[in-house]
A and B are shown apart, each in its own frame.
Chain A
Amino acid sequence: MTNVSIIGIGCTAVNEHWDTSIRHLAWYAIEAALDDADISKVDALYVGNMLAGQLSQQNHLGALVADFAGLRGIEAVTVEAADASGGVALRQAVLAVQSGLVETALVVGVEKMTDQTGSPITAALATGLDADYEAMHGLTAAGAGALLMRRYMHEYGVSVSDFAGFSVNAHANGADNPLAMFRNRLKAEAFAKASPIATPVSLFDAAPAGDGAAAVIVVNSEKAMDMSPQPIRILGSALATDTLALHDRKNPLWLGAAERSAQKAMAMAGVTPDDVDLFELHDAFTVLAALSLEAAGFAAPGAGWQLARDGQIGRDGRIPISTFGGLKARGNPGGATGVYQIVEVARQLRGQAEACQVPDAKIGMVQNLGGAGATAVTHILGV
Chain B
Amino acid sequence: MEVSRHWRLQEQRYKLVGETCDNCGVKLFPPRDVCLECAAPAKELYTFTGLGEVYSYTTIYDAPAGFEQQAPYSVALVKLEEGPIVTAQLTDMDEDEMYIGMPVEMVTRKLRTDGDEGMIVYGYKFRPVQFEMAVK
A and B pair up: yes
Q: Taking beta carbons and an 8 Å cutoff, which residues of A are in contact with B?
A: 119-120, 122-123, 125-126, 130, 132-140, 142-143, 146-148, 150-151, 154, 195-201, 243, 245-248, 252
State whether A243 touches B61 (Cβ < 8 A): no
Determine how close the nearest CB of chain B comes to the CB of A250; give it in whole angstroms.
9
Total number of B residues with any Cβ neighbor in A under 8 Å: 35
State whether A138 touches B60 (Cβ < 8 A): yes
Q: A122-B65, A136-B111, A143-B75 are in contact. Are A150 and B100 (CB under 8 A)?
A: yes
State whether A139 touches B75 (Cβ < 8 A): yes
- Nearest residue (CB) in A for B28 is A248
CA distance A125 to B57 in the complex (A): 20
- Nearest residue (CB) in A for B124 is A137
Residue B59, interface by CB 8 Å: yes
- Nearest residue (CB) in A for B95 is A199
Q: A135-B64, A138-B63, A154-B56 are in contact. Are A247 and B36 (CB under 8 A)?
A: no
Residues 65-97 of B, flagged 1 when their CB comes within 8 A of A and 0 if not, give 111101001011100000011111100000100
Q: Which of B5, B59, B65 contacts A123 (CB 8 A)?
A: B65
State whether A122 touches B62 (Cβ < 8 A): yes
Residue B112, interface by CB 8 Å: yes
Chain B hits for A140, CB < 8 A: 60, 62-64
State whether A199 touches B59 (Cβ < 8 A): yes
Name which of B58, B70, B89, B123 has the most chain A CB atoms within 10 A of its CB. B58
Q: A119-B65, A119-B68, A247-B85 are in contact. Are A143 and B60 (CB under 8 A)?
A: yes
Name which of B5, B9, B64, B89 has the most chain A CB atoms within 10 A of its CB. B64
Chain A hits for B9, CB < 8 A: 132
Q: A119-B63, A146-B58 are in contact. Are A133 and B30 (CB under 8 A)?
A: yes
CA distance A138 to B90 in the complex (A): 11
State whether B59 touches A138 (Cβ < 8 A): no
Q: Which of A132, A138, A243 contacts B67 (CB 8 A)?
A: A138
Secondary structure of the B side of the interface? strand
Chain B hits for A119, CB < 8 A: 63-68
Name which of A120, A122, A143, A196 has the most chain B CB atoms within 10 A of its CB. A143
State whether B61 touches A196 (Cβ < 8 A): yes
Residue B129, interface by CB 8 Å: no
Chain A hits for B66, CB < 8 A: 119, 123
Chain A hits for B77, CB < 8 A: 147, 151, 246-247, 252
Chain A hits for B64, CB < 8 A: 119, 122-123, 125-126, 135, 138, 140
Q: Which of B62, B75, B95 contacts A137 (CB 8 A)?
A: B75
Residue B102, interface by CB 8 Å: no
- Nearest residue (CB) in B for A150 is B56
Q: A119-B65, A247-B77 are in contact. Are A154 and B100 (CB under 8 A)?
A: yes
Chain A hits for B89, CB < 8 A: 137-138
Determine how close the nearest CB of chain B comes to the CB of A207; give it in whole angstroms.
13
Residue B14, interface by CB 8 Å: no
Residue B55, interface by CB 8 Å: yes
Determine how close the nearest CB of chain A comes to the CB of B62; give it in whole angstroms.
5
Q: A132-B30, A252-B77 are in contact. Are A246 and B58 (CB under 8 A)?
A: no
Q: A151-B55, A151-B56, A252-B77 are in contact. Are A136 and B62 (CB under 8 A)?
A: no
Within 8 A of A (CB), among B26-64: 30, 36, 55-64
State whether B88 touches A198 (Cβ < 8 A): no
State whether A147 touches B100 (Cβ < 8 A): no
Determine how close the nearest CB of chain A comes to the CB of B66; give it in whole angstroms.
7
Can you identify 13 A-B contacts, CB atoms within 8 angstroms?
A: A122-B64, A132-B30, A136-B111, A137-B89, A138-B111, A140-B63, A147-B76, A154-B100, A196-B59, A198-B58, A243-B36, A247-B77, A247-B84
Q: A137-B111, A139-B75, A246-B77 are in contact. Are A150 and B57 (CB under 8 A)?
A: yes
Q: A120-B65, A122-B65, A252-B77 are in contact. Are A136 and B56 (CB under 8 A)?
A: no
Determine how close the nearest CB of chain A comes to the CB of B4; give it in whole angstroms.
13
CA distance A136 to B68 in the complex (A): 13
CA distance A150 to B70 in the complex (A): 22
Determine how close the nearest CB of chain B comes to the CB of A97; give it in whole angstroms.
34
State whether A147 touches B75 (Cβ < 8 A): yes
- Nearest residue (CB) in A for B32 is A248
CA distance A72 to B113 in the complex (A): 45
Q: Which of B55, B57, B60, B112 contacts A136 (CB 8 A)?
A: B112
Chain A hits for B85, CB < 8 A: 246-248, 252
